[in-house]
Structure 1
């Protein structure tokens, strides 16, 4: 099983179906869970083509190691979170989120909604290899089905306050799990819905499973043609939402978050270190504070669970809406934005805070050197600048912008994010950071980085 160790990532289990993530491996993962996290498991999945096979195999492993299984079937990840946070189950959710259809994975949750990650996943990997978890005949777990999707749907209906404003909304479910919930939900809440890609396709053959400005370029014209108030596109399992205003323009996650905050009571916000500075300025002006966390939805979830926050936002399009009532549920993020538009009673475009310019750069540097380069930069910047954060790589806030330098977790590269009010500022900061990286490479005795 050593060749499968790499599928146990920092925050979930992930691999290519039929190669490194197979039904046989899923059976053993189910057995390993019984050793470290025994209990009643709600097992469910997104709708990609390999999810059913992995879900059934995972269930078999749990049953064969003595754990009871509640099969919730198919649904968005919000359903899985609901099952753990509100119904008290351990949850194993089969999904690869926004990744291409040949990929799949497993997200694991403890009964309070806390994700299983890092050290716990390493323990699972070791136990899978030993395979010491099967029970004797007569000691197997019990299997039942439960319509958790309907319970989750009823929960969603009750979360928003009533608003008098009926909206026309273009909904792009990306042929994924949001298709099972969102169009009907918004209609039941009184809105006019124009659905596209709301038929399930396990292979995501229309636009792929990841909603980006490029893959959703059709949304602008649809929104304008239908004179809609809002547009939203989902990823494969519904944990990320990409918004569009009534003019068809893409809304950044930070802009959407600030609209939600305008209609919410003042309070603290959790945001990842890559989020725009406009979030911190807005929250501080209202007497709150922004708790910054490393990049990755898991860090936002952990912070939200131990803090009293009004909202969470990540630069990739993850939100923790309604103060964390169902953690990072992309469908609830849509409901909170809709509710905010009703409360503020204005077109979305008029509520958007102007964004500074953003630039992202990838510099190829070997895995052996990239972390040493970032450490060198940390030491240099801590002695050179006043506002420096080192919770994830190194971020430096300047008078006319900021920059973040991080070692990639998945590639032999360093990623640089730069924000400034104008192109000249972006160019100046980029030139400076590239020069500093070159200096770090020379000091460490390494060859030059590739552009």
Structure 2
């Protein structure tokens, strides 16, 4: 909201989603305008809508739909993880989907993610077009709706049946899951039980206030999960985020596994069956990903960070697998979407067929010293300008860079990347090298150059 009380659409529309604080940036009136803008953009096609467990979700869903039905027919599938909305769009043959969610943000936030069925995500220039439509919409002048709304119950059971048909466990496993009071508590525990696993579920009850911890799976929020995995002698643990598109894994010793190493476990399993298959990864993943995928006979494809870019690349390249350092995992088996529940079931399948423990699988993978996503505060209106300054400066220095997302400085024995977050007012630095000494050199250089650029030096 601007000082004059008007909605700042430029603030809430991000590169590949819409997010804001409910009642401040994002109101029911704003949601109606956004719904009508999407309806205009989609030219009256069919849309499936779902929401996560946030307190404001029902109000925003109703307001969004009131705008959508100005031109579109809408199918509401209720409270579901985001991957189930992708599943529903494909299963129910809908042209597009819109999820009411703010993913891992704090409870007062909410927002919208949108996609076009199997044609990929809605982002970039398309989001700018929708934003501009929304600015010009007066909800009082929408007239009589040309579309209608129907509810589709049972999509969770349909999804459970679908993914269960794709998983085969060869032995019973002991699993601990933390569903973070989010949507995965409605889905994951039942599938594990149907597959014959013993599962202990922490923070299972859906609660949009997220009383246990923020709905983001990371070391700071998964302490209880780590302890329970060890205490119950579990084969592994899994922590999901609030809307179910991420899964962070814990080995039997209580150690958190970085997302790019988990990706290599999935890659080994898939490429043993499909030599020559394509694996998509993002540019902050370890250089071990490219090396290991090639060693396994696969084709590694690098892409910029973000689920929209990875998912679109998965579809466009007909890739078998995709992954991010942040533990988003994408599978051709489930329409190329990032699905935390399916990822956890797939890991269970891999473990059930092996005599190795999860910690032993991880220990056998190539690993290098690294720093992952150190955040440096930088205002939204400056962060991309700062990245452009750094890009120009590195070019002036004569350094080798990759510029598909932020600026990545590449040297023979390491790399460092600086990129502006698409969802927060920060610039992030990640780095990796073959030695600790080289890692420190690259990271310190990046911090020094970032501080200079932010000061305008």
Displacement of 1:99 in angstroms is 0.3
SS in 2 for 1:219: helix
The residue number in structure 2 matching 1:109 is 115
Q: 1:30-45, aligned counterparts within 5 Å?
A: 30-37=35-42, 38-45=44-51
Write the distance in 1 (CA, Å) between the matches of 2:449 and 2:303. Answer: 25
Aligned: 1:356 with 2:377: no
What RMSD over aligned residues (CA atoms) do the two structures have, in Å?
2.3
Q: CA deviation at 1:229?
A: 0.1
Q: Does residue 335 of structure 1 match 2:345?
A: yes
Distance, in Å, in 1 between the alignment partners of 2:173 and 2:439 is 38
Tell me by how many angstroms 1:128 deviates: 1.7
Q: Is the 8 A contact 1:33 1:62 kept in 2?
A: yes
In structure 1, list runs of 5 or more residues that go unmatched: none
Distance (whole Å) between structure 2 residues aligned to residue 447 and residue 5 of structure 1: 24
Does residue 218 (structure 1) correspond to residue 224 (structure 2)? The answer is: yes
8 Å Cα contact 1:309/1:323 also seen in 2: no
Q: Equivalent residue of 2:338, what SS? A: coil
Instruction: Identify if the C-alpha distance between structure 1 residues 365 and 203 changes in structure 2 by more than 3 Å, giving closer, same or farther.
Output: closer
- Cα shift readout 1:314-370 (whole Å, capped 9, x = no counterpart): 111111024553511111111221122123342111111253222244456671751
Moved more, 422-431 or 211-220: 422-431
- What is the rounded CA distance, in whole Å, between the counterparts of 1:295 and 1:230 in structure 2? 27
Partner residue of 1:84? 89
The more displaced of 27-36 and 360-369 is: 360-369
**TM superposition shift of 1:202:** 1.2
Query: For 1:26 and 1:2, how far apart are their aligned partners in 2?
Result: 11
Task: Quote the residue 1:315 is aligned against.
Answer: 325
Please tell me whether residue 420 in structure 1 is matched to residue 433 in structure 2: yes
**Which residue is equivalent to 1:18?**
23
Alignment map for 1:345-424 (pairs within 5 Å) = 345-352=355-362, 353-359=365-371, 360-363=373-376, 367=382, 369-380=385-396, 383-385=398-400, 388-409=401-422, 414-424=427-437
Deviation at 1:182, TM superposition (A): 0.5
- Residue 418 of structure 1 aligns to a residue whose secondary structure is strand
Cα pair 1:169 1:228 within 8 Å, conserved: yes
Residues 30 and 60 in structure 1, CA contact (< 8 A), matched pair in contact too: yes
Distance 1:50 1:434 in 2: 39
Q: Distance in 2 between matches of 1:427 and 1:165?
A: 44
CA distance in 1, matches of 2:23, 2:240: 26
Q: Which moved more, 1:341-350 or 1:224-233?
A: 341-350
1:199 aligns with 2:192: no
Q: Does 1:245 align with 2:261?
A: no
CA, structure 1 residues 141+372, in 2 after alignment: closer, same or farther (shift >3 Å)? Answer: closer
Does the 8 A contact of 2:315 with 2:336 survive in 1? no
Within a 5 Å distance, the mapping from 1:50-129 to structure 2 comes to: 50-63=56-69, 65-89=70-94, 90-112=96-118, 114-129=120-135
Distance in 2 (CA, whole Å) between partners of 1:253 and 1:344 is 20
Taking structure 1 as reference, are residues 262 and 3 closer, same or farther at Cα in structure 2, changes over 3 Å only? closer
In the other structure, the counterpart of 1:4 is: 9
Q: 1:33 to 1:414 in 2, by over 3 A?
A: closer
Distance 1:112 1:242, change over 3 A: same
- Aligned twin of 1:184: 190
Which stretches of structure 1, 4 residues or longer, exceed 6 Å deviation after superposition?
Answer: none
Residue 156 of structure 1: aligned partner: 163
> Is the contact between residue 270 and residue 312 of structure 1 (CA under 8 Å) also seen in structure 2?
yes
Q: TM-score, normalised by structure 1?
A: 0.90
Matched, 1:143 2:143: no
Tell me, what secondary structure is at the counterpart of 1:56? helix
Show the counterpart of 1:259: 265
Displacement of 1:30 in angstroms is 1.6
Q: What are the Cα deviations for residues 134-158 of structure 1, in whole angstroms up to 9, with x where unaligned?
A: 6654x53222111222222221221
User: How far 1:373 sits from its partner (Å)?
Assistant: 2.2
Question: Cα distance, 1:159 vs. partner?
Answer: 2.0
- Counterpart of 1:296 in structure 2 is 306
Residue from 124, 127, 137 that aligns with 1:131: 137
- Tell me if the contact between 1:224 and 1:247 (Cα under 8 Å) persists in the aligned partners: yes
Of the structure 1 ranges 405-414 and 210-219, higher mean CA displacement relative to structure 2 is found in 405-414
The answer to whether residue 446 in structure 2 is matched with residue 433 in structure 1 is yes
Distance in 1 (CA, whole Å) between partners of 2:423 and 2:232 is: 41
